[in-house]
Amino acid sequence: MTIDESFDELYKRLRGSRCAAPLLQARTYFDAGDASQTLIELQKIRQTYIETRKSLLDAEANIELPNVRESQQRKRQSKASDAVEHFDELISLLMIQSRTTKPIEPVARISRPRPEKAASSSPKVSHVEEVENRLRKELALATSEQEVRDLLKPHFELVPVDAKHEFESGERMVLFSNGLGHVIQIDDPPFIDNSVRVLTWFDQKHMLPIPTDKFLKSAAKGRIHRLLMRKLEEGESFGEETQKTESNPKDESKDENKLVSETAERDKILDMGAFTQLLDAAQRSGIVPGSNIIIQVRDCEYRLGKYNKALQMMETLYTTFLGSESQRNQRLQREEMEIASGRKKMSPRELQLKRSQDNQATQAVDRTKVRFQRVLEGLRGLLHLEHTAAAQD
């Protein structure tokens, strides 16, 4: 069975569950050639599916149930076990492919574009991606603190973390310990039980949470630095300092003014703050699974001008959100009917408290929907503007 066929079979078994939409998102990563991110997403989805089906998968074979219920229970157990097996099969196929696929050399190494065409393309965007992808691979092989510093120095500024630092999801740092350097990324949400949640940046694997006081003590000793990416110039090579060619200062000024103008025009339609507001609203609503996708879209696709991919990812997440909202509304209706019929008994005070909490949660969900629509409309506007500019060129 091929990977595409395995994706199709797994989707048939997950259709209707909350894991179906994330599976489609994982498939977009596979279609884009990002096998490592596909594996990460699949493992997360598999874990979520197992947690939601835990009672079925862990059920004892000798549960005493009426015949009809027992038959239904066996079917559900069989379906859940079958889905987990398909998860394992698909993950195995992807791991085999990632080991056997040869890395593709960048086009820039084979043939350089002519100068007149280089200006019309977007070398800075592709170069940032190339540098980050290669840097991840090099960091995974680094064996000393100095080697990590040498890899990071050409591309990042190392800024010390102070005691008043406010941690943000997606923020990248480097931690020096025992003669080694570890590039980490702040997870979403940043804190759990007064500890900082972190991932390894090069492979996005969760590390054990670090107590906040211990984290800040290490920072005070100069062991932890924030990573701020330097501005990459055209012609810069991985691991080398930027090679500046002779150019007309007036032309550089025009290019800079054009970049500022384009950024200002983009921010008029949709700015970074809209994503931050959406992330905050999504977390408050409590019904948006995978809200870290908002951070990825904001810091990667949107920032790099990949509006089409950003729109696809946000529409997928919005569809998942609408499904969760519908389930929530149905649950509230059932609860109200049970209370009205007397099947669920509550005192007047408890009923008043419940309805007050439900109203607050509904307001949070409504705010999230408005924020989603704002971001989606902005991305559609940017995509239309991009298509218009391309047609004029």
Residue 246 lies in a domain: no
DSSP reduced 3-state for 176: strand
Residue 248 lies in a domain: no
Which of these, 28, 16, 23, 36, lies nearest to 86 by C-alpha position? 23
- The mean per-residue pLDDT over the stretch 369-377 comes to 91
Beta-carbon contacts of 283 under 8 Å, excluding residues fewer than 6 positions away, are 189, 291
Same domain, 364 and 282: yes
Give the range among 62-71, 154-163, 193-202 with minimum mean pLDDT.
Answer: 62-71
Full domain range(s) for residue 345 = 261-392
Tally the domains of the chain. Answer: 3
Strand arrangement of the beta sheet that strand 180-192 belongs to: 156-160, 224-229, 172-177, 180-192, 195-200, 210-211
Taking only the tens place, the pLDDT of each residue in 188-214 is 788 877 788 888 877 777 777 888 888
Side chain identity at 46, as an amino acid letter? R
pLDDT at 363: 92
Same domain, 265 and 388: yes
Residue 282 reports pLDDT greater than 50: yes
Residue 115 lies in a domain: no
**Inter-helix orientation angle 272-285/348-392, to 10°:** 150
Beta-carbon contacts of 218 under 8 Å, excluding residues fewer than 6 positions away, are 175, 177, 224
Residue 244 reports pLDDT greater than 60: no
Same domain, 27 and 94: yes
Taking only the tens place, the pLDDT of each residue in 246-266 is 445 545 455 445 545 556 666
- The mean per-residue pLDDT over the stretch 211-240 comes to 71
Residue 117 lies in a domain: no
Beta-carbon contacts of 278 under 8 Å, excluding residues fewer than 6 positions away, are 294, 368, 371, 372, 374, 375
Which of these, 296, 293, 301, lies nearest to 320 by C-alpha position? 293
Beta-carbon contacts of 364 under 8 Å, excluding residues fewer than 6 positions away, are 281, 284, 285, 286
Same domain, 132 and 202: yes
Residue 162 lies in a domain: yes
Residue 334 banded pLDDT, cuts 50, 70, 90: very high
Measured CA to CA, the distance from residue 48 to residue 364 in angstroms comes to 24
Residue 218 lies in a domain: yes
